[in-house]
């Protein structure tokens, strides 16, 4: 016996015991360096074999190799198990619950007034009208003066006005100023529709908003008649509502048309038999219209003896309200999704 055998036995026993306490990869590596590394315990022992008597060396060497193999196998086994458990831990941490319901994405939708505007413009485009736009901050001259509504004229009471820079700059109270703007920058024949926001200094209630939309229409040519105007408006109503809808024209006053009129259609809710929406009359007032006043033509440098025109103006809010039996205009701009979602 060289003593090497018992040293190896102690070494292997301690090594195996220590290894059992290694609970992570780092501890296992430290253990490996201590026992099996280049300057570890086994290597030390192997070096000391050189000092033994010649005949003892082979068996001591064999015993040392066996001890080394035992520790090596134990180490690999431990590493394997540590790797497995750390992988298991990572899998557990990254676990995804595939049964969990996803987060719902809400569909966006177009605003009911946008839908109505698009429909109105589509119908007029089909009849050969071009779509154009104008400024919301407008000059008094276009909003009133050019339209035959001079300062101090009592007709100004029809439009309660927000002034941006009194008395000459204001928020347009209607889209009619675009009649003058378009006529100034182009030559007849003209056929245009102008959608846009309008503003009025007004107390809000179920049928009044301080901001709302209008669509203005204007045609200028030689020899236009009231029949042309009525034909266009009836064709519009038949596509906007239903093909047999009846239209009613009655005299009305607007300073920029002569003669002026309003057009009513059969109530789309009761189709004329009388209901809450039309206040039992069977009719809904829809728009103002008329033949362009000669003074308006003169104001933009046109010769009323050479050309004439017709104009009309309507409110998409009102059209949407009668189509869907909505009784409060404030719903459109209250941003309540429960209301807005119903149109898409």
Question: Catalytic pick from 32, 174, 181, 293?
Answer: 174
> Which segment (121-129, 130-138, 240-248, 309-317) binds ligand DAH by CB under 6 A?
309-317
d(CA 15, CA 30) in angstroms, rounded, equals 12
Classify residue 37 by burial, with Cβ atoms within 10 Å: 0-12, 13-18, 19+. Answer: middle
- For residue 89, give every residue at least 6 positions away whose Cβ sits within 8 Å of its Cβ, in sequence order, or none: none
Tell me whether residue 257 is one of the annotated catalytic residues.
yes
Residues 138-197 that bind ligand DAH (CB under 6 A): 174, 176
Tell me whether residue 95 is one of the annotated catalytic residues.
no
What CA–CA distances, in Å, run from 341 to 97, 174, 331? 32, 28, 12
According to DSSP H, which parts of 101-242 are helical?
112-126, 140-143, 177-185, 226-240
d(CA 119, CA 213) in angstroms, rounded, equals 14
**According to the binding rule CB under 6 A, does residue 134 interact with ligand DAH?**
no
Among 8, 182, 311, 331, binds ligand DAH (CB under 6 A): 311
> Which segment (94-102, 109-117, 134-142, 283-291) binds ligand DAH by CB under 6 A?
283-291
Q: Give whichever of 198 and 326 is closer to ligand DAH, judged by the CB atom.
A: 198
Q: Give whichever of 75 and 236 is closer to ligand DAH, judged by the CB atom.
A: 236
Residues 188-227 that bind ligand DAH (CB under 6 A): 216
Tell me whether residue 200 is one of the annotated catalytic residues.
yes
**According to the binding rule CB under 6 A, does residue 313 interact with ligand DAH?**
yes
**According to the binding rule CB under 6 A, does residue 254 interact with ligand DAH?**
yes
Q: Which residue has the tokens 């109503």?
A: 237
What three-state secondary structure class fits 330? Answer: helix
d(CA 151, CA 159) in angstroms, rounded, equals 12
Question: Applying CB under 6 A, what is the total number of residues that bind ligand DAH?
Answer: 11
What three-state secondary structure class fits 183? Answer: helix
> Which segment (20-28, 180-188, 306-314, 324-332) binds ligand DAH by CB under 6 A?
306-314
Tell me whether residue 311 is one of the annotated catalytic residues.
yes
- The DSSP code for 50 is T
**According to the binding rule CB under 6 A, does residue 288 interact with ligand DAH?**
yes
Tell me whether residue 174 is one of the annotated catalytic residues.
yes
d(CA 246, CA 153) in angstroms, rounded, equals 35
Tell me whether residue 296 is one of the annotated catalytic residues.
no
> Which segment (64-72, 85-93, 269-277, 308-316) binds ligand DAH by CB under 6 A?
308-316
Among 257, 263, 321, 329, binds ligand DAH (CB under 6 A): 257
**According to the binding rule CB under 6 A, does residue 312 interact with ligand DAH?**
yes
Classify residue 278 by burial, with Cβ atoms within 10 Å: 0-12, 13-18, 19+. Answer: buried
Would you please indicate which residues are annotated as catalytic (active-site) residues? 159, 174, 200, 214, 257, 311
Residues that bind ligand DAH (CB under 6 A): 174, 176, 216, 254, 257, 288-290, 311-313
């Amino acid at each position: 016996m060289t003593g090497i055998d018992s040293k190896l036995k102690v070494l292997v026993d301690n090594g195996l015991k220590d290894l059992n306490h290694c609970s992570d990869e780092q501890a296992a590596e430290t253990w490996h360096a201590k026992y099996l590394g280049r300057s570890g315990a086994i290597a030390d022992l192997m070096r000391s074999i050189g000092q033994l008597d010649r005949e003892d060396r082979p068996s001591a060497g064999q015993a040392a190799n066996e001890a080394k193999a035992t520790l090596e196998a134990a180490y690999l086994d431990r590493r394997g198990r540590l790797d497995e458990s750390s992988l298991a831990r990572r899998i557990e941490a990254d676990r995804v619950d595939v049964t969990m319901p996803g987060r719902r994405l809400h569909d966006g939708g177009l605003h009911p007034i946008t839908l109505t505007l698009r429909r109105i413009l589509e119908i007029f485009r089909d009849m050969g009208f071009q779509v154009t736009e104008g400024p919301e901050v407008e000059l008094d001259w276009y909003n009133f003066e050019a339209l035959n509504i001079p300062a101090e004229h009592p007709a100004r009471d029809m439009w309660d006005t927000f002034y941006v820079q009194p008395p000459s700059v204001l928020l347009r109270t209607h889209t009619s100023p675009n009649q003058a703007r378009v006529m100034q920058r182009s030559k007849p024949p003209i056929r245009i529709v102008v959608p846009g926001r309008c503003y009025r200094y007004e107390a809000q209630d179920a049928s009044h908003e301080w901001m709302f939309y209008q669509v203005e229409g204007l045609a200028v040519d030689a020899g236009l008649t009231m029949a042309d105007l009525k034909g266009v408006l009836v064709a519009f109503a038949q596509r906007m509502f239903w093909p047999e809808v009846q239209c009613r024209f009655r005299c009305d006053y607007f300073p920029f048309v002569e003669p002026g009129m309003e057009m009513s259609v059969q109530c789309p809710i009761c189709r004329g038999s009388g209901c809450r929406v039309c206040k039992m009359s069977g009719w809904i007032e829809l728009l103002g219209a008329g033949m362009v006043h000669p003074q308006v033509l003169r104001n933009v440098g046109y010769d009323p003896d050479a050309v004439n025109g017709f104009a009309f103006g309507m409110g998409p809010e009102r059209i949407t309200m009668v189509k869907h039996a909505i009784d409060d205009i404030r719903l459109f701009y209250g941003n309540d999704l429960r209301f807005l979602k119903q149109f898409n």
